[in-house]
């Protein structure tokens, strides 16, 4: 009984090991999505930082003595250096906020400044903008950012970015 059990365990290890090593070199394309809170966005100009309030889920233009528009930059962490085929992004804001998605190359040149391709109102106080970038608009080994312009009382709640790229995990 002990020999038979040992043989079964060895056979199982061999089968699993062979299966895993067969998939280790596979490549495919898959989506890599990241979600961000609006509280991670930063004032584009240092002088405007005093006009912004942050909560755990948003950044809001609080107004104050200077009733002017404020721009915030929402950085996007990119842990992928392989060429991307497309970008699927969205930003959730209060109505009236205007946003642009930027693709930037390693030399800090703007490859593409993309306006929303569509929007969706979730309620009278929440709007979601969608962005879509194709391969020629995406900087190889570059960075991404979303810039939003807010009036007093307006907010950025969060943003989401998906990158379609080569993966070593069989596209999963």
What ranges do the domains of the chain cover?
28-167
State the pLDDT at residue 142: 84
State the pLDDT at residue 9: 43
Residue 17 phi, psi dihedral angles, 5° rounding:
-60, -40
Q: Return the pLDDT at 117.
A: 96
What distances in angstroms separate CA 148 from CA 7, 88, 120, one per listed residue? 63, 17, 17
Q: Please tell me the predicted confidence (pLDDT) of residue 20.
A: 41
H or E element that contains 24:
helix 2-24
Taking Cα atoms as reference points, which of 161, 171, 169 lies closest to residue 79? 161
Instruction: Kindly report the CATH number that applies to the domain delimited by 28-167.
Output: 2.60.120
DSSP secondary-structure letter at 141? Answer: T
Low-confidence ranges of the chain (pLDDT < 50): 1, 5-25, 171
pLDDT at 137: 87
> Looking at residue 31, what is its pLDDT?
82
């Amino acid at each position: 009984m002990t020999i038979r059990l040992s043989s079964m365990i060895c056979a199982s290890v061999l089968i699993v090991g062979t299966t895993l090593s067969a998939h280790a070199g596979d490549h495919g394309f898959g989506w890599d999505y990241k979600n961000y809170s609006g509280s991670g966005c930063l004032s584009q100009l240092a002088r405007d930082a005093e006009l912004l309030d942050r909560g755990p889920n948003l950044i809001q233009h609080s107004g104050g003595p200077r009733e002017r528009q404020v721009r915030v930059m929402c950085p996007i962490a990119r842990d992928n250096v392989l060429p991307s085929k497309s970008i699927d992004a969205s930003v959730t804001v209060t109505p009236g906020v205007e946003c642009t998605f930027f693709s930037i190359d390693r030399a800090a040149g703007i490859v593409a400044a993309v306006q929303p391709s569509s929007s969706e109102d979730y309620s009278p106080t929440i709007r979601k903008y969608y962005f879509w970038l194709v391969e020629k608009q995406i900087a190889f080994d570059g960075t991404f950012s979303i810039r939003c312009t807010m009036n007093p009382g307006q907010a950025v709640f969060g943003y989401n970015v998906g990158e379609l790229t080569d993966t070593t995990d069989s596209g999963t």
